[in-house]
Amino acid sequence: MSTANVYEGYKSPLSTRYASKEMQYLFSDQKKFSTWRQLWVWLAEAEKSLGLEITDAQIAEMKANINNVDFEAAAAEERLTRHDVMAHVHVFAKQCPLAAPIIHLGATSCYVGDNTDLIILRDALDLLLPRVASVIYCLKEFALKYKSQPTLGFTHLQPAQLTTVGKRACLWIQDLLMDERTLRRCREDLRCRGVKGTTGTQASFLQLFNGDGAKVKELDLKVTKLAGFEKPYGVTGQTYSRKVDVDIIAAISSLGTTIHKMCSDLRILASRKELEEPFETTQIGSSAMPYKRNPMRSERCCALARHMITLFSNAANTHATQWLERTLDDSANRRLTLSEAFLSADAALLTLLNISQGMVVYPKVIERHISQELPFMSTENIIMAMVKAGGDRQVCHEKIRVLSHEAGAQVKQHGKDNDLVERVRKDPYFAPILDQLDTILDPTTFTGRASDQVTEFVNEEVEGVLANYKEALKNIQVVQLNI
């Protein structure tokens, strides 16, 4: 193939730009078809242990060729047979002539297809979960560092009561803890399809073992254990229930909502110049505007997250339309949905980890924004101080109302700074509390228990989850994005 031809076919950006090599490998042809061969080995080993005439030499021959997949020969066979599993059976049999008579003995295509999918889903969840934990860890450190840094809270995207930078980060962490729990439950609930036959009745294996149902059940359990699962699904049709896929993709879609919410927050804060994601010294924000520091990492996360969210409907519709024991219209859809869900989640989490490792806070900008809004928020405190000093609440309320509207006009109509405090200082009515104004306007007195909430949340909820990932968190690598 010429160099030009390399660039003339479609390539997924999940492979060329975003996802890790580790996750890409899990959904590669090499992983898939070598796992098929490993499953044939496990089936032969289990059948031999239960009395079928299978020799050690046959098993050894199969083992020697597990990773020696002739992809071109398999593709040629599939063009003839129009059946992917039989194509690989034929190629494997040619490579293992001694074992050829017993390869795939008693099995249906879904023995290798579905069990391989379940193994890959398990391994992919094992890769995602530590990534989620790593992001939680980095955000935890960020939250503790800025737990007492006052900042404007927002409701309806309008300035509201103060919170702290660290407390806001805990909102992101809490969502991620829910994602970790859901993904972990999916991982813990995952089972093996095992050895179930063409419609799930195990009829072919019952025939192989001359009607000995106990041996068939034991065969199912042996293969399940060899594949690294504790249990097989108790019943299946030809396939394991696609409800399993729905559960897993739902968890990934839910993770997508968390990532999108957090990164949307970051983009809003970046537009206010209060907080920025990492920005490299050679990075270019805009081809036309050299000064721009666009939040491209957060934008990438949002883009990938939306794809994760939309994939749920594919999984749900596929399960809903699996008639009776199965239909094949799940196949093409699942090739896209399962791989893209995990590759997108992997890419989004790596990007989010990169962001979480290098977020930059600008306290002076935050303080300036607070100073523009705090005078209005402090009016109730000023009224209460005047009442304590002997003033009439209704008179004070009217004074503050008039001054607030005057100050608001300066901000909205003339583009000037909020001068309410100066107006209060100049009004003789407020003379009894002037020495208290600095204390009344101290932003830290407006954040309630935010700082304590951060400490309590980290100690009571975050650390317990992170304890499950001690090894993974020992050496968190600084993520370098390829592109």
Which residues are tagged catalytic?
A: 156, 286
CA–CA separation, 254 and 257 (whole Å): 5
CA–CA separation, 211 and 27 (whole Å): 38
**Strand 150-155 relative to strand 275-276: parallel, antiparallel, unpaired?**
unpaired
Q: Is the dihedral of CA 12, 16, 22, 25 positive or negative?
A: positive
CA–CA separation, 12 and 278 (whole Å): 26
